[in-house]
Structure 1
Amino acid sequence: MTSVVLAGGGTAGHTSPLIATAHRLREREPGVSLVAIGTPKGLESRVVPAAGLDLELIDPVPLPRRLTTDLVKVPYRLRRAVNQARRILTGHRADVLVGFGGYVSMPAYLAARELKIPIVVHEQNAIPGLANKVATRLTDRIAVTFPGTPLRHARVIGMPLRSEITELDRETVARAARVEFGLETGLPTVLVSGGSQGARSINTAIAGAYPELIARGIQVLHVLGPRNFRDDMVPVVDEATGASYRPVAYVDAMEKAYAVADLMIGRSGAGTVMETIAVGLPSVLVPLPHGNGEQARNADALVAAGGAIRLPDERCTGDALVDLVGPLVTDPERLARMRAAGRGMLPGNAADLLCDMILEAARR
């Protein structure tokens, strides 16, 4: 029986491809042993068990961005986390470690190297994170989502996505989803989401924009993120048009939200970019202005192809969204051109391609 340990967490950008890959491995190898490594602070502590996967936790080892006393503690914390990862890999008799980046991956990579366990890496973003940069010194089995990602040995495979996304039947799913979200049939619909953590600037801008949008007959489904949702956030219906603003904290099955939407406003995390391409959903992308610039790079190819519009974070205001979204979401011909522009941009069988790499490594 093949034993696969997967490491990745922190945000949906790491956990979503991990879960998609694990599910595809189970379909292809029914007897495969799977366990994920995560940290208590990451999104994985909730979504990985919810996806039917075993999860074991190690201590997080964040790297301070400034020179503080915490920097002195990093070597000790890292050694402790590596030892914890070693025990998991040994206890599960791992044949291969698959890493998706994030805090949890660095200790797992180092532990696998010490144990001489093959390592396979998937990098989601166009600009890689630190853990996956280090991993290129430990393995040559590197898969990436976007062409041009600056990692040695990189093989472009796209993003592993859940079958619910890749095989989405929009009309069938939309019927029940509209009822679930309280949306009307026949009205143009905008989906707003800042990803698993939410996006404050987008949330603030849509709060200023939605009264005018619903007055124009455009309904808005707004996924704020659990940290940004308050109990006093309730649906608002425009009595003249029947269009509504529907705020929700989180959507576990994002394919439902994609199915009801004509246009999405969101960050340009790799998962969002690839999922909107897969389901044929035009988008307005507002790259996160912080970090190492990976979100802007993630959006480049889709924007250049005409499948998305980039809106800089500093220009993301209520008035800007009304001026941009109002005419766009009510223009079926332009939306159709945007949907067509994204089709076939990147491989659609990334989960299978990554599984091929994993199983080949495990059997050596």
Structure 2
Amino acid sequence: MSTQQPGSPAGREDSSAPERKGPTVVVAGGGTAGHIEPAMALADAVRRLRPDARVVALGTERGLETDIVPRRGYPLELVPPVPMPRKASPELLRMPLKVRDSVRRTREVLDRVGADVVVGFGGYVSLSAYLGARGRVPIVVHEANARAGLSNKVGARLAERVLAAVPDSGLPGASTIGIPLRESITTLDRAALREQARAHYGLDPRAPTVLVFGGSQGAQTLNTAFSGAADALGRAGVGVLHAHGPKNTVAVQEVAGAPPYVPVPYLERMDLAYAAADLVVCRSGAMTVAEVSAVGLPAVFVPLPHGNGEQALNAQPVVSAGGARMITDEELTPQRVIDEVLPLACDPDMLARMNRATLETGHREADRVLAKTVLEVAAQ
């Protein structure tokens, strides 16, 4: 975790380096991977389109960006976080001072790096970015979720352009482009990598294979359901690649002669995991739905049961198109896996139809589309 003070740069590139001919793009998407990864995918796409461009990330010391952004090779500028209280509290009374301080620090960063455009992806840092850029630097907003958050609702009122992953996000006038994704995902050829992917994870090269994961920390519901159904899956000739989370364990008894059931703490190569699978069972965060759709992988989504129902909304367009099914968290039991997931994994015709439907909902060009929009706004 970075120990630098707010306002100081991190990463391999010096964000206060001498001015270059290309535009300077400031991306604001800190806090969670769901905000940071689209920002990094945009950064990569901007640099592919304009190698002379400079991309600077704006974040806070609390978020995952202190690890992710420097590893991706981009400078990171830290400003004080302004988390929005969900209810009346003493913290709410201190909000004006915190906002003012964060906005002031943000403006200092924008002036110092010579920002030509600010691109916000939501989250704590985006609100400071929007208010700091207002009247000074043009703003582009991207909303990844099916239901827009407060920061992006504010930013949309100030922005030159507003874009969203799906229709009806709650941001008026937003253009639907999907979510910017890593090039390793958008260019993935699952069929070409299938043999290598299965060898990498120690999976059967020919058996129907289900990929199971519940996010970076795993999901207890998925772990319990699939470990409980492991014997039935093995006897039916179905292999499993199961990422259970680094703090969890999954114990399954091998079935003699059956395809391997491979439990791993996490998936260090998501591209190979997607290529190895015929079917995925997973949560339905915005980034996960976007990646699964982009690579054309049939899915059974199990939305996280907390929050405002956002994950179910994220999954619904793919389910409606016929590319996925949805099972609620409380309904996912070992028996439900046996009754629904197992027959689906063994039905290649249905999986082929779902594959085609899933691809039709995917947006492999979202990173390039957003990068072109951002560069056009910067040029103005």
Query: Could you state the TM-score of these two structures normalised by the residue count of structure 2?
Result: 0.88
Deviation per residue, 1:315-338 (Å, 9 max, x gap): 122221222111110111110111
Q: 1:61-76 maps to which residues of 2 (within 5 A)?
A: 61-76=82-97
98 and 178 in structure 1: CA distance in 2 versus 1, 3 angstrom threshold: same
Contact residue 294 and residue 362 of structure 2 kept, 8 A = no
Report what 2:39 is aligned to: 18
Deviation >4 Å, runs of 4+: 234-237
Give the % identical residues.
49
63 and 249 in structure 1: CA distance in 2 versus 1, 3 angstrom threshold: farther
Q: Does 1:113 align with 2:129?
A: no
Report what 1:136 is aligned to: 156
Q: Using the alignment, how far apart are the partners of 2:371 and 2:102 within structure 1?
A: 27
Deviation per residue, 1:89-145 (Å, 9 max, x gap): 22211100111111221111111115x111101101111111111111211410011
Q: Secondary structure at the match of 1:36?
A: strand
Q: Does 1:268 align with 2:284?
A: yes
Q: Does 1:199 align with 2:199?
A: no
1:342 alignment partner, one of 334, 350, 358 = 358
Q: Does 1:304 align with 2:320?
A: yes
Q: Using the alignment, how far apart are the partners of 1:363 and 1:45 within structure 2?
A: 29
Q: Using the alignment, how far apart are the partners of 1:48 and 1:213 within structure 2?
A: 40
Report what 2:104 is aligned to: 83
1:161 alignment partner, one of 145, 165, 181 = 181
Report what 1:331 is aligned to: 347
Report what 2:200 is aligned to: 180
Q: Does 1:152 align with 2:172?
A: yes
Q: Does 1:248 align with 2:241?
A: no
Q: Using the alignment, how far apart are the partners of 2:195 and 2:83 within structure 1?
A: 43
237 and 170 in structure 1: CA distance in 2 versus 1, 3 angstrom threshold: farther
Please report how far the alpha carbon of residue 356 of structure 1 lies from its aligned counterpart in structure 2 after TM superposition. Answer: 1.7
Q: Secondary structure at the match of 1:104?
A: helix
What letter is aligned with 1:71?
L
Please report how far the alpha carbon of residue 61 of structure 1 lies from its aligned counterpart in structure 2 after TM superposition. Answer: 2.4
Report what 2:9 is aligned to: none
Q: Does 1:361 align with 2:377?
A: yes
What letter is aligned with 1:110?
L
Please report how far the alpha carbon of residue 212 of structure 1 lies from its aligned counterpart in structure 2 after TM superposition. Answer: 3.1
2:239 alignment partner, one of 203, 219, 235 = 219
Contact residue 11 and residue 42 of structure 1 kept, 8 A = yes
What letter is aligned with 2:104?
N
Report what 1:40 is aligned to: 61
Q: Using the alignment, how far apart are the partners of 1:80 and 1:181 within structure 2?
A: 49
Number of aligned residues: 359
Q: Using the alignment, how far apart are the partners of 1:344 and 1:30 within structure 2?
A: 31
72 and 219 in structure 1: CA distance in 2 versus 1, 3 angstrom threshold: farther
Contact residue 285 and residue 310 of structure 1 kept, 8 A = yes
2:311 alignment partner, one of 295, 312, 317 = 295
Q: Using the alignment, how far apart are the partners of 2:239 and 2:53 within structure 1?
A: 45
1:208 alignment partner, one of 228, 232, 244 = 228
Please report how far the alpha carbon of residue 287 of structure 1 lies from its aligned counterpart in structure 2 after TM superposition. Answer: 1.6
Contact residue 282 and residue 301 of structure 2 kept, 8 A = yes
51 and 214 in structure 1: CA distance in 2 versus 1, 3 angstrom threshold: farther
Q: Secondary structure at the match of 2:94?
A: helix
Deviation per residue, 1:25-44 (Å, 9 max, x gap): 11110011111112333232
| Unpaired stretches in structure 1, ≥5 consecutive residues | none
Q: Using the alignment, how far apart are the partners of 1:344 and 1:76 within structure 2?
A: 47
25 and 235 in structure 1: CA distance in 2 versus 1, 3 angstrom threshold: farther
Query: Could you state the TM-score of these two structures normalised by the residue count of structure 1?
Result: 0.91
Contact residue 198 and residue 223 of structure 1 kept, 8 A = yes
91-100 or 202-211: bigger deviation: 202-211
Please report how far the alpha carbon of residue 21 of structure 1 lies from its aligned counterpart in structure 2 after TM superposition. Answer: 1.0
Deviation per residue, 1:210-246 (Å, 9 max, x gap): 34323433222222344xx24xx37756241343333
What letter is aligned with 2:172?
R
Contact residue 8 and residue 37 of structure 1 kept, 8 A = yes
Contact residue 26 and residue 119 of structure 2 kept, 8 A = yes
